[in-house]
């Protein structure tokens, strides 16, 4: 048996998505910008996907722009909005994805000021802290919807309303939450999604940009995507992404998540759940194991055909603790001992049971070696 519990990193492309994409590669080969029948056919196909995505977040099809994925989407929304603005201040949180944090850091070098909001011990941003940080010069608030490491879900409706009240634009990285959580674009000005996080292909995604907003282009080129993103669209990728959205099913992921959390916490001593108990992605389990290193647990589980994630990464003798686990106040030992298990709608109880049995053996063995 092979068990894949790293669905926050990426997901397996669904069979039906592969079929749809194969067909697109073979037949929908026109350039959407071409005016002849092969071009208009491709344009019509990707416009269908625009509608499918827009509908999921209560937006308009013309507010959806295709990108190469989550990282480009975050770069585009953040740089595009603040560079088109005269204001020079940005608000974000300390637990954002690298594609947001590093974009902000780069903008600081370009003369922008950035406020990095603290989170509480569960990884929650207090919307009041966002309100307090807003200044006359604030161009954008960018706060992720759900965190990729600990699964904590932010109250983006409340944050969005605060931004609206103060006439500040609001972007959210919804790469982890799209389809798993309800999203209403009414409260949001810009949002990022990525197909490979929901059983679509890698290298394709989309952003929602509220109609009428001033946004600078990230990629110069032709007038594709309403003149907001140059370059010929990834037609098969976009078609695959559309299929993946349609195929997504609400299922018992949450029950399986809670089952797994309960079993680990009760059957393995010296364990603690990281992140919020209830305001949490349906597929996320992040647990710190005392007296072991998450990275080592991950490698041992990998030998046993169980793929999981960690927050820390070993670089020779240095262990770099994840900025997210640091921000929620975990001590270094707990942060190093963290392991992330992320489920998919296709994960079965049998797979979870298999992973737990292997996990118990690995943690027990590693702890014995240590003492």
Query: Footprint of ligand PLP on this chain (CB under 6 A)?
Result: 69-71, 74, 97, 99, 144, 148, 173, 175-176, 194, 196-197, 205
Helix (H, G, I), strand (E, B) or coil at 192: strand
The CB-of-165 to ligand PLP minimum distance in angstroms stands at 26
Catalytic residue (one of 77, 104, 163, 314): 314
Closest C-alpha to 189, from 208, 162, 214, 205:
208
The CB-of-290 to ligand PLP minimum distance in angstroms stands at 27
Closest C-alpha to 260, from 202, 324, 306:
306
Q: Which two tokens stand for residue 31?
A: 């350039």
Are 8 and 342 spatial neighbours (Cβ–Cβ below 8 Å)?
yes
- β-bridge partners, 62: none
Distance separating alpha carbons of residues 100 and 116, to the nearest angstrom: 11
DSSP strand pairing (205-209 vs 306-307):
unpaired
Phi and psi at residue 174, in whole multiples of 5°? Answer: -105, 25
**104 assigned to active site:** no
**Considering beta carbons, is residue 43 or 99 the nearer one to ligand PLP?**
99
Q: How many helices (H) and strands (E) does the chain have?
A: 13, 15
The CB-of-259 to ligand PLP minimum distance in angstroms stands at 24
Closest C-alpha to 184, from 51, 47, 55:
55
**Considering beta carbons, is residue 194 or 334 the nearer one to ligand PLP?**
194
Which residue sits closest to ligand PLP, CB atoms considered? 70
**Considering beta carbons, is residue 100 or 352 the nearer one to ligand PLP?**
100
The CB-of-369 to ligand PLP minimum distance in angstroms stands at 33
The CB-of-206 to ligand PLP minimum distance in angstroms stands at 11
**Considering beta carbons, is residue 85 or 148 the nearer one to ligand PLP?**
148
**Considering beta carbons, is residue 280 or 300 the nearer one to ligand PLP?**
280
Angle at 334 between CA 8 and CA 326, to 5 degrees: 70
The CB-of-144 to ligand PLP minimum distance in angstroms stands at 6
**Considering beta carbons, is residue 201 or 337 the nearer one to ligand PLP?**
201
**Quick one: angle between helices 349-370 and 253-267, nearest 10?**
30
Residues 6+ apart with CB under 8 A from 65: 76, 206, 207, 208, 209, 225, 226, 228, 229
**Measuring CA to CA, how many Å separate 209 from each of 88, 283, 310, 352?**
20, 27, 32, 38
The CB-of-146 to ligand PLP minimum distance in angstroms stands at 7
295: DSSP letter: H
In 203-357, beta strands by DSSP E: 205-209, 271-273, 284-289, 306-307, 309-310, 313-315, 318-320, 338-342
**Considering beta carbons, is residue 11 or 43 the nearer one to ligand PLP?**
11
| Residues involved in catalysis | 314
């Amino acid at each position: 048996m092979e068990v894949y519990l790293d669905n926050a990193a990426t997901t397996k492309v669904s069979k039906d998505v592969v079929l749809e994409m194969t067909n697109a590669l073979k037949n929908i080969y026109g350039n959407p910008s071409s005016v002849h029948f092969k071009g208009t056919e491709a344009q019509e196909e990707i416009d269908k996907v625009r509608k499918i995505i827009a509908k999921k977040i209560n937006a308009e099809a013309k507010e959806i722009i295709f990108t190469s994925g989550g990282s480009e989407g975050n770069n585009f929304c953040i740089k595009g909005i603040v560079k088109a603005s005269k204001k020079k201040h940005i608000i974000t949180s300390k637990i954002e994805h690298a594609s947001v944090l590093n974009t902000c850091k780069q903008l600081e070098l370009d003369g922008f000021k950035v406020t990095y909001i603290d989170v509480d011990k569960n990884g929650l941003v207090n919307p009041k802290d966002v309100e307090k940080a807003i200044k006359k010069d604030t161009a954008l608030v960018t706060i992720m919807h759900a965190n990729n490491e600990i699964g904590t879900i932010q109250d983006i409706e409340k944050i969005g309303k605060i931004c609206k009240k103060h006439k500040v634009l609001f972007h959210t990285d919804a790469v982890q939450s799209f389809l798993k959580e309800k999203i209403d674009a009414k409260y949001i000005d810009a949002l990022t999604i990525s197909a490979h996080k929901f059983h679509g292909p890698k290298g394709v995604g989309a952003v929602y940009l509220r109609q009428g907003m001033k946004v600078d282009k990230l990629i110069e080129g032709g007038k594709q995507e309403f003149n907001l993103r140059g370059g010929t669209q990834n037609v098969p990728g976009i078609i695959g992404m559309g299929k993946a959205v349609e195929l997504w099913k609400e299922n018992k992921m949450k029950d399986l998540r809670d089952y797994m959390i309960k079993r680990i916490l009760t059957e393995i001593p010296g364990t603690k759940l990281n992140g919020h108990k209830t305001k949490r992605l349906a597929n996320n389990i992040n647990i710190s194991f005392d007296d072991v290193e998450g990275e080592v647990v991950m490698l041992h589980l990998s030998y046993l055909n169980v793929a999981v994630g960690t927050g820390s990464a070993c670089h020779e003798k240095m262990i770099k603790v994840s900025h997210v686990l640091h921000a929620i106040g975990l001590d270094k030992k707990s942060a190093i001992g963290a392991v992330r298990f992320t489920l998919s709608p296709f994960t079965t109880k049998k797979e979870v049971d298999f992973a737990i049995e292997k996990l118990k053996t690995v943690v027990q063995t590693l702890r014995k070696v240590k003492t």
